[in-house]
Amino acid sequence: MRSVFVSGTDTGIGKTHVSCALLRSLQSQGVKAIGMKPVASGCEQGAAGLRNEDALALIAASHGNVDYASVNPYAFEDPISPHLAAADNSVSIEPGVISAAYQRLQAQADFVVVEGVGGWLAPLGNSLMQADLVHQLRLPVLLVVGLRLGCLNHALLTARAIEADGCRLIGWIGNRIDAQMLRIEDNVETLKRRIQAPLLGIVEHEDLSRAEIGIDRLDEAARVLLASPDT
C-alpha cells in the first residue's frame, strides 16, 4: 500500500489540481488510486449534506465508486480556517476518525493521495496540526508551490517547517498560478537548489469550477512516487 500527503505553500495554490493530476497519472499506469480530503471548509449544503468542491474533484479523478464520507470525513460550511469552523460547530477534529476513513480507502486502492487543507501550518484544533495526521498515517509529504511573487519565501519556510516537524518531504510540484510572473524559470532554479527534495513537475494553473478536474498529468511524479520506498 502506497500513499502521499499533499500540502501547499498557502490556500488556493492548486493542491487539488495537482492531486487530481497525480491521480490520473497513477491510474494511467495501472494503479488503483483514490483521493482523500480529510478536512474541508467552504462546503455547500445540498440534498446529500455538505459537499466540498475539492473533495468532489478528487472523487471524480479517483478509481471506482468512493463514499463521500470516507473521502471527506470533516466538512464545514464557512470558508474559514478549519480549527475555527470546527469550534463554531462544536466539533473536535479527531485523528482516529480520519485514520478510520483512510483505512477504508486503503482497502479499495493501491495508492491514496491525501490532500491537506490550506498551508502546512493551518491548525486543525487547539493543539492538533496537520503534521500530527501525517505522523499518524505515516505519510511522506509532497509540497505544492504556488509560483508567484513571494514563492521563494513561502516555499523555503514551508519546507523547513515540514522537516522541523519530523516529516519526510519527498518532492515538490510547481503550479503556475501567476502567468505573468517575472523570472519564473530563475525562481524555479533557486528553489531546486535550496529545497532538499526533488522537483517532480510543473503544472499550469486551472480554475476547477471551470475546468473541473483539468487536463494536466504528472506521469514522472507518479513514477517517482511508485518507485520510492517512502510512499
Query: What is the mean pLDDT for each group of 10 consecutive residues in the chain (231 residues)?
Result: 93 93 94 98 92 96 95 97 96 97 97 97 96 97 96 98 97 92 95 96 66 62 90 83
Per DSSP, the chain holds a count of helices (H) and strands (E) of 10, 10
- Res 209: pLDDT: 41
Measured CA distances, 34 to 5, 17, 19, 145 (Å): 12, 14, 10, 22
Q: At what angle do helices 130-137 and 95-106 cross, to 10 degrees?
A: 40
Please say whether the beta carbons of 18 and 173 come within 8 A. Answer: yes
The pTM assigned to this predicted structure is: 0.93
Which of these is catalytic: 15, 32, 37, 192?
Answer: 37
For the chain, how many structural domains are there in total?
Answer: 1
State the residue range of the domain holding 102.
2-227
Spatial separation of the C-alpha atoms in residues 55 and 142, rounded to whole Å: 18
- Whether 32 is catalytic is no
Which three cell numbers, joined as nine digits, stand for 68? 463521500
How, if at all, do strands 2-8 and 169-176 pair?
Answer: unpaired
Spatial separation of the C-alpha atoms in residues 131 and 161, rounded to whole Å: 10
Please say whether the beta carbons of 171 and 221 come within 8 A. Answer: yes
* Amino acid present at 43: C
- Res 1: pLDDT: 64
**CATH assignment at residue 161:** 3.40.50.300
- 175, with CB counted inside 10 A (0-12, 13-18, 19+), is buried
Residue showing cell 471527506: 72
